[in-house]
Amino acid sequence: MFMALARLVRFAWAYALLTGLFSTGFQASATDTTSGLLDYLGAGIDQRTGFQRLGIRLGGWVNASVTYNASRPADNFNGPVSFNDRAGEPQMNQFYLYLERAIAGGPNEWDVGGRFDFMYGTDTIFTQAYGIPYVDPRTGRPLNRGHWDLHLSSWSDRFYGIALPQAYAEFNLPMGNGIVVKAGHFYTPLGYEMVTAPDNFFITRPYTFQFNPFTHTGILSRYAIDANWAVSAGAVTGSATGGGDGTWDEQLGNWDFLGGGVWTSDDKSDSLSLTAMAGGRSERFGDLWAIYSLVGKTSFLDDRLHYVIEHTHGFADQVQTTNYTRNGGKLENAQWYGIAQWLTYALEEHWSVGLRAEWWRDNNGFRVSGPPRCSGSMNVNGAGEARPYACNPDFSTVYPFQGSGYYALTVGLNWKPLNWVILRPNARYDWSDAIKIFDAGKRSDQFLFSADVTVTF
> Which CATH number characterizes residue 108's domain?
2.40.160.10
Cα distance between residue 192 and residue 200, in whole Å? 9
Q: How many other CB atoms are there within 10 angstroms of residue 420's CB atom? A: 21
Name the residue range of residue 225's domain: 2-456
Q: What is the pLDDT of residues 356-388, one digit of tens each?
A: 999 999 999 888 877 888 888 877 766 667 777
Burial pattern 127-159, b for ≥16 Cβ within 10 A else e, equals bbbbbbbbbbbbeeebbebbebbbeeeeeeeeb
DSSP 396: H
Q: Which residue has the higher pLDDT, 14 or 414?
A: 414
Number of domains in the chain: 1
Q: In whole angstroms, what separates CA 401 from the centre of its chain? A: 22
Q: Which pLDDT does position 5 carry in this prediction?
A: 45
Element (H, E) at 46: helix 45-49
Q: Which pLDDT does position 48 carry in this prediction?
A: 60
Mean pLDDT along residues 199-228? 96
Q: How many other CB atoms are there within 10 angstroms of residue 384's CB atom? A: 7
Q: Which pLDDT does position 43 carry in this prediction?
A: 60
DSSP 372: H
Mean pLDDT along residues 438-456? 94
Mean pLDDT along residues 404-416? 97
Q: How many other CB atoms are there within 10 angstroms of residue 83's CB atom? A: 30
Cα distance between residue 222 and residue 229, in whole Å? 11
Going 242 to 293 to 100 to 114, the CA torsion angle's sign is positive
Residue 212 has pLDDT above 70, yes or no: yes
Q: Which pLDDT does position 221 carry in this prediction?
A: 98
Angle, CA of 76, 159 and 75, to the nearest 5°: 15
Mean pLDDT along residues 57-70? 96
Find the range with the poorest average confidence among 103-112, 128-137, 379-388: 379-388
Cα distance between residue 439 and residue 446, in whole Å? 8
Residue 30 has pLDDT above 60, yes or no: no
Q: Which residue has the higher pLDDT, 5 or 179?
A: 179
Q: Which pLDDT does position 323 carry in this prediction?
A: 79
pTM above 0.75, yes or no: yes
Q: Which pLDDT does position 157 carry in this prediction?
A: 80
